[in-house]
A and B are shown apart, each in its own frame.
Chain A
Amino acid sequence: MSEHDSSVVHVSSVRLLLIVWVALMIGTWLTVSASNIDLGFLNIWVGLAIATAKALLVGLYYMHLRWDKPFNSFVFLGAFFFLLLFIGFAMMDSAHYQPNLIPGYSPGMGD
């Protein structure tokens, strides 16, 4: 490998790629089965936990973050951090004005 320093670049083994693939498949099966059981408010959190575990597998292994410079992970996680701020503040805000809404009365909406 003339262009890339082999000590920096990580080549994934086929075995690892397949193991991650199997894990992702099991994860998909798990999410679908979990959605068929009624856990009340827990359903969404169980689903999100499984989805996040799958996302971590994709990020760490398929996207090589495990062997990458940590700064790349930092940049990526930074985007999620700001997304959480965005979602968090928007939900807090709407939760505050929600009780003041008049049912069936939505100026500026419709048509």
Chain B
Amino acid sequence: MADQAHAQRDGLAVDHHFENADQQYQSAKLGMWVFLGTEILFFGGLFVAYSVYRANHPEIFIFGHHFLDKNLGALNTVILICSSLTAAWAVRAAQLRQIGMLKLMILLTILCALGFMGVKSVEYNGKWKHGLLWAGQYDPHLEDHGETSHDIIGEEIAAEADAEIVTEEMVVEASPALPAADPDRSTIAPAAEGPAGLAVEDPAAAEDTGVEVEPANAQTYFSIYFLLTGLHGIHVLGGIGAFIWLLLCARRGDFDSGHFTRVDMVALYWHLVDLIWIYLFLLLYLI
């Protein structure tokens, strides 16, 4: 290990199973691209869930996205694009052995990533306070909106409150109606005793307020929202860790020799995180 570290400082570290430094670098890069491919497929399952639910129940997504702040989403997009710029610049600096510049760019990237997580935590906090959570935890209550900095537009709160009242009435009326479903279609007893499918959307009311009445299964939107942004957020945290590691490497002088493979690989990962966010911002915030 010590020998290897020393050799890398001399710019001569080629493991014995590689022909030369270039082949070693290209292999690392190919491995990284394969990893990024698996990352796409990792997120892919959630994108499938999104596509299928949105295609079949667009009203849930239209309703849910009113509770996301487009401005905060756009701010996070801008932050991530800036961090991609600094990450790409860090690779350039490492290639040209501009160690001071490299450290500065890594630091800026970490700051952007922390900024992203900060904005994200403000958003999550708002959702948490209003009970806009996933699946069974979904329990919207917006009465305490005055205390929070998260700005949900006033009329939406009114619409949400109306929807809640409708929902409660429906629960009472709905229960006796349930056995009407054809028992021959399934032998499993109906578990859905909530307002599923019964909170009828009124297009006229929607036009008046500009906001839709809460559709059935609105929690699905928040489940998908939290899974997608949560998985992405975990990747951002991982990226912060990787950049801190790079900063330590740079301080130790690992990149003095023009060895930049590590910087390049971490930057590739970071660009992928940015790339996924570009789609998440569009698909979750800008419906």
Contact = CB atoms under 8 A, between A and B. Distances in A.
Interface of A: 1-5, 8-9, 11-12, 14, 17-18, 20-21, 24-25, 28, 31-32, 35, 44, 47-48, 50-51, 54-55, 58-59, 61-63, 68-69, 71-72, 75-76, 78-80, 82-83, 86-87, 90-91, 94-95, 98, 102-111
A102 B183 CA distance: 11
Interface in B18-39: 21-22, 25-26, 29-30, 33-34, 36-38
Interface string B243-279: 0000000000000011110000001100110110011
Contacts of A63: 268, 271-272
B186 interface: yes
B147 to A, nearest CB: 29
Nearest to A65: B33
For chain B, what secondary structure do more than half of its interface residues adopt (helix, strand, loop), or is it mixed?
helix
Interface stretch (B88-96, B121-129, B226-234): B88-96
B85 interface: yes
B154 interface: no
Contacts, number: 185
B207 interface: no
* Interchain residue pairs A-B with the least CB separation, the first 5: A104-B197, A79-B37, A35-B286, A107-B188, A105-B181
Given A83-B40, A90-B48, A110 B95 contact: no
Contact of B258 (A2, A62, A107, A110): A2
